[in-house]
């Protein structure tokens, strides 16, 4: 049978439950995923005075062909985007600035250092998001930045974050879609601290200074991101979930939830509904933790589906900003982007094809037998046929055929670097 014929049969199956598949496919087109640039070069960046990875970040593997400059990285992103259905965004870190061989310290970065990125995004119809980079730097070597006891070091990072928000605002103004500027810091202690309050007080004061400089919300959205622990901060993280949740609520900032930044038994999917009750918008970094915040490539597992279901069933597709955050240097990096992003979109499609309103009704009626039975049955409904049709309609490879394009790109481009 053809893709179209399979689609028509699947459409009939979902129609029995009141799901308008054509409407779902149209709606999915408008959902952007913010694709992280740092998968393409192993979070190295392109600073002239490049530093070793630090801040609890580690990338393992030596698969050939990683991007060594911004032009190569953009080329790799273009390849991945050509294999992913829909129009999306690209998420940058400060270390991806282009300074034409000049050493420019991070607190001196300006919009002009990202002009090539903006021009490229404009040509490709993409939005851009941004992150100050508060790791892999001599002034972060002892594991503290915005909470550092040394005022001079704190001021350096404060100025970097202020400049970063201006760069995010520049992205939004030039591209006509607001940038999410997200602050994550590695600050913490390896062993049990004797004082948890003072570093958090300094972090609060630093953030207050950063956000005292106004940016236009039409162009820049501010977010803060927590973490439960990291390598080198196993016992105490200054920017905990509780700290940033309270700070975001009090100061009208977005709270960004990274799926790898919580205890192994916690799930971000379970937090989304609570967050949406009290926040107009919520930001996500979707990753895949394996025993810790290991940032594995996103797969179509139960938690990814549940995250998508929570977004869709709560009618929050326009309220939840979905970004990705993973990096694997043991496999082809373009393939990693493609696998992870396609899976995020698949999860959203899966969630949009479930008769969520009917299942909610069953729960309200206390009909838990039918609720469980149907939730399980829909796991094997033919959503794959809808996905194939969507890919074909959007002009990207269907099923695993995209892998042949990646293999050819590897031979023609990546292995020649």
Confidence check: pLDDT of 52 > 80: no
Mean pLDDT across 294-307: 97
The neighbour count for residue 116, using CB atoms within 10 Å, is 14
The verdict on whether residue 58 carries a ligand-binding annotation is no
Confidence check: pLDDT of 53 > 80: no
Q: What is the 3-state secondary structure (H, E, C) of 364-416?
A: HHCCHHHHHHHHHHHHHCCHHHHHHHHHHHCCCCCHHHHHHHHHHHHHHCHHH
pLDDT of 129: 98
Q: Regarding beta strands 188-189 and 127-131, do their DSSP bridges make them parallel or antiparallel, or are they unpaired?
A: unpaired
- The DSSP letter of residue 325 is -
The verdict on whether residue 301 carries a ligand-binding annotation is no
Residue 243: pLDDT band (50, 70, 90) is: very high
Q: Tokens 């929570």 sit at which residue?
A: 310
Confidence check: pLDDT of 54 > 80: no
Chain segment 148-201, per-residue pLDDT in tens: 999 999 999 999 999 999 999 999 999 999 999 999 999 999 999 999 999 999
Chain segment 257-290, per-residue pLDDT in tens: 999 999 988 999 999 999 999 999 999 999 999 9
CB 75 within 8 A of CB 158: no
Q: How many percent of the chain have pLDDT more than 70?
A: 100
Domain 31-352 belongs to what topology? TIM Barrel (3.20.20)
pLDDT of 218: 97
Per domain, the residue ranges of the chain are 1-30+355-417, 31-352
- Strand ranges inside 219-360, DSSP E: 220-225, 236-237, 254-258, 282-286, 320-324
The verdict on whether residue 222 carries a ligand-binding annotation is no
CB 168 within 8 A of CB 214: no
> CA–CA distance from 362 to each of 150, 365, 366, 367 (Å)?
58, 5, 6, 5
Residue 55: pLDDT band (50, 70, 90) is: confident
| Rounded Cα gap, residues 79 and 225, in angstroms | 29
Catalytically active residues, by annotation = 184, 225, 227, 258, 261, 285, 293, 295, 325
| Rounded Cα gap, residues 289 and 326, in angstroms | 9
- pTM over cut 0.85: yes
């Amino acid at each position: 049978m053809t893709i179209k014929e399979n689609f028509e049969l699947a459409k009939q199956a979902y129609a029995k439950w009141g799901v308008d598949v054509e409407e779902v496919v149209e709606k999915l087109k408008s959902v952007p995923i913010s694709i992280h640039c740092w998968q393409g070069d192993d979070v190295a960046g392109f600073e002239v005075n490049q530093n070793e990875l630090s801040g609890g970040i580690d990338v393992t593997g030596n698969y050939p062909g990683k991007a060594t400059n911004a032009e190569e990285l953009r080329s790799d992103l273009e390849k991945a985007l050509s294999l992913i259905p829909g129009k999306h965004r690209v998420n940058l870190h400060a270390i991806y600035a282009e300074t034409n061989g000049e050493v420019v310290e991070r607190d001196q970065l300006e919009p002009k250092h990202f002009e090539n990125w903006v021009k490229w995004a404009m040509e490709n119809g993409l939005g851009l998001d941004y992150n100050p980079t508060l790791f892999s730097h001599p002034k972060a070597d002892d594991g503290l930045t915005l909470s550092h006891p040394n005022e001079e070091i704190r001021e350096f990072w404060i100025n970097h974050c202020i400049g970063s928000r201006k760069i995010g605002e520049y992205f939004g103004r030039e591209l006509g879609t607001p940038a999410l500027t997200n602050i994550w810091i590695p600050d913490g202690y390896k062993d049990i601290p004797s004082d948890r309050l003072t570093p958090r007080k300094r972090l609060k004061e630093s953030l207050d200074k950063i956000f005292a400089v106004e940016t236009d919300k039409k162009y820049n959205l501010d977010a803060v991101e927590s973490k439960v622990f990291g390598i080198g901060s196993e016992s105490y993280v200054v920017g905990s979930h509780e700290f940033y949740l309270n700070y975001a609520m009090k100061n009208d900032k977005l709270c960004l939830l990274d799926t790898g930044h919580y205890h192994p038994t916690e799930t971000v999917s379970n937090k989304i509904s609570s967050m949406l009750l009290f926040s107009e918008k919520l930001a996500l970094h979707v990753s895949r933790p394996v025993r810790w915040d290991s940032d594995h490539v996103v797969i179509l597992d139960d938690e990814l589906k549940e995250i998508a279901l929570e977004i869709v069933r709560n009618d929050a597709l326009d309220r939840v900003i979905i970004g990705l955050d993973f990096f694997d240097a043991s496999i082809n990096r373009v393939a990693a982007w493609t696998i992870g992003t396609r899976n995020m979109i698949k999860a959203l499609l899966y969630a949009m094809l479930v008769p969520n309103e009917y299942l909610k009704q069953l729960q309200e009626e206390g009909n838990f037998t039918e609720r469980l039975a149907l939730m399980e049955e829909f796991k094997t409904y033919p959503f794959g046929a809808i996905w194939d049709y969507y890919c074909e309609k959007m002009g990207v490879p269907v099923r695993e055929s995209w892998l042949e394009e990646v293999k050819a790109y590897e031979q023609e481009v990546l292995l020649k670097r």
